[in-house]
């Protein structure tokens, strides 16, 4: 039976599961765009736990952090996708295994 | 029967399913569409936390702006043939999934063993999630980071233009 209110721990567990999904995505996929999307998944999982902590403690700090994380994610999206574009232009691939010039 | 836990379960299930589908789809476009669904589910979860401003910004910035950028790049790269979309999955994927599972179980065990004790939203939660209160602290207490982030966005703008432009010989 469901409780009448949601405990904070539910949000934390959900956030952990979503974060791990993102980690597995980064580790298993080789397509640079999908790796990029998995990183967004991880950022959003952290945002969820920050908002949950902020709401349950009645402090606005967590939601401010989420605001700033979103700005950083937008900047990251712009630069990351520009890198993918110039990678494709130079090597005709977006598979990270094919990009091993700097690998020792 | 309270509505809020039910809504949480619906959105949480949707978020997990769309996240897994983002990671497992072969075609980047289906991945991107799952990620859009994921962002909407998260916006719903933010609403169950009374964070209306964050929920609105989530839909506008993530589902609106960032995903349009991603889909635009996928379209621009034109990875056409399905044959090229397949990735070989071997020992590495299984190992990565195993590590991920162990990591998840660890976090869940810690959370379950030591509950936070916070079982309900305080009544203050409704006030702090509004645009008014966010704007108020953004332009008072958090004014410096707010200005700093505008510099970061400018740097990202210039950086992406420089990275993506064709180099002149």
Q: Is A97 exposed, middle or buried (0-12, 13-18, 19+ CB in 10 A)?
A: exposed
Residue A74 CB coordination number (10 Å): 19
Interface check for A64 against chain B (CB to CB < 8 A): the answer is: yes
The residue of chain B nearest to residue A55, with distances taken between CA atoms, is B125
- A with B: how many residue pairs have Cβ under 8 Å apart? 236
**Diameter over CA atoms, chain A:** 57
For position B84, what pLDDT does the model report? 56
* A74/B61 Cβ within 8 A: yes
Is any Cβ of chain A less than 8 angstroms from the Cβ of B27?
A: no
- CB of A50 less than 8 A from some CB of B: no
What's the N-to-C CA distance of chain A in angstroms? Answer: 56
pLDDT range class, residue A1, cuts 50, 70, 90: low
pLDDT at B90: 76
Residues in chain A within 8 Å Cβ distance of B152: 71-72, 75
> pLDDT of B1-56, one tens digit each?
578 889 999 999 999 999 999 999 888 889 999 999 999 999 999 999 999 999 99
Q: Is residue A50 situated within a structural domain?
A: yes
- Residue B118: per-residue pLDDT: 79
Domain hosting residue A67, numbered range: 11-98
Which domain CATH number covers A18? 1.10.287.3510
Sequence-ordered alpha helix ranges (H) in B58-142: 67-77, 91-113, 125-128, 131-138
d(CA A85, CA A94): 9
Q: Give tens-digit pLDDT for A26-63.
A: 998 888 899 999 999 999 999 999 999 999 998 999 99
Considering only the beta carbons, identify the residue of B1, B5, B79 that sits closest to A6: B5
- Looking at every residue in chain B, the average pLDDT score rounds to 87
Task: Grade residue B121 by pLDDT with cuts at 50, 70 and 90.
Answer: confident
Q: How far apart are CA B32 and CA B23, in angstroms?
A: 10
User: Considering only residues 70 to 99 of chain B, which have any Cβ-Cβ distance to chain A shorter than 8 Å?
Assistant: 70, 73-74, 76-77, 79, 87, 89, 92-93, 96-97, 99
A70-84: per-residue pLDDT in tens? 999 999 999 999 999
**Whether B96 and A8 lie within 8 Å, measured CB to CB:** no
What CATH number does domain B3-80+123-164 carry, 1.10.760.10, 1.10.540.10, 1.20.120.1200, 3.90.650.10?
A: 1.20.120.1200
User: Binning pLDDT at 50, 70 and 90, where does residue B168 land?
Assistant: low
Distance from CA of A10 to the nearest CA of B (A): 9
The percent of residues in chain B predicted with pLDDT above 70, rounded, is 91
pLDDT-derived band at A104 (thresholds 50, 70, 90) equals confident
| A68:B145 CB<8 A | yes
Q: What is the ipTM score, two decimals?
A: 0.92
Q: Which residues of A touch B77 (CB under 8 A)?
A: 33, 84-85, 88, 94
B51 closest CA partner among A17, A64, A10, A46? A64
Which residue from A20, A44, A82 is facing B104, i.e. has the nearest CB? A20
Average pLDDT over residues B140-161: 94
Read off the pLDDT of residues B72-86 as tens digits, 9 standing for 90 and up.
Answer: 998 888 766 555 556
Domain count for chain A, please give it. 1
């Amino acid at each position: 039976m469901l409780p009448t209110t949601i405990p904070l721990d539910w949000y934390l567990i959900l956030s952990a599961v979503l974060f791990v999904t993102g980690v597995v995505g980064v580790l298993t996929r080789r397509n640079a765009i999908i790796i990029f999307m998995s990183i967004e998944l991880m950022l959003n999982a952290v945002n969820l736990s920050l908002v949950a902590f902020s709401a349950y403690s009645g402090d606005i700090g967590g939601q401010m952090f989420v605001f700033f994380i979103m700005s950083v994610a937008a900047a990251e999206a712009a630069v990351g996708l520009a890198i993918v574009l110039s990678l494709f232009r130079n090597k005709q691939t977006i598979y990270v295994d094919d990009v091993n010039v700097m690998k020792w | 029967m309270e509505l809020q836990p039910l809504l949480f379960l619906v959105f949480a299930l949707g978020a997990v399913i769309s996240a897994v589908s983002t990671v497992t789809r072969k075609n980047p476009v289906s991945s991107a569409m799952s990620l859009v669904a994921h962002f909407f589910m998260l916006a719903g979860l933010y609403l169950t936390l009374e964070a209306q401003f964050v929920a609105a910004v989530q839909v506008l910035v993530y589902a609106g702006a960032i995903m349009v950028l991603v889909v635009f790049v996928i379209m621009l790269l034109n990875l056409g043939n399905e044959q090229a979309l397949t990735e070989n999955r071997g020992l590495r994927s299984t190992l990565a999934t195993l590590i991920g599972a162990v990591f998840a179980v660890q976090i869940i065990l810690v959370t379950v063993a030591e509950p936070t004790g916070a079982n309900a939203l305080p009544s203050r939660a409704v006030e702090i999630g509004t645009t008014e209160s966010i704007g108020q602290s953004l332009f008072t207490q958090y004014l410096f980071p707010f200005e700093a982030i505008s510099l970061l966005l400018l740097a990202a703008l210039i950086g992406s233009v420089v990275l993506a432009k064709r180099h002149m010989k």
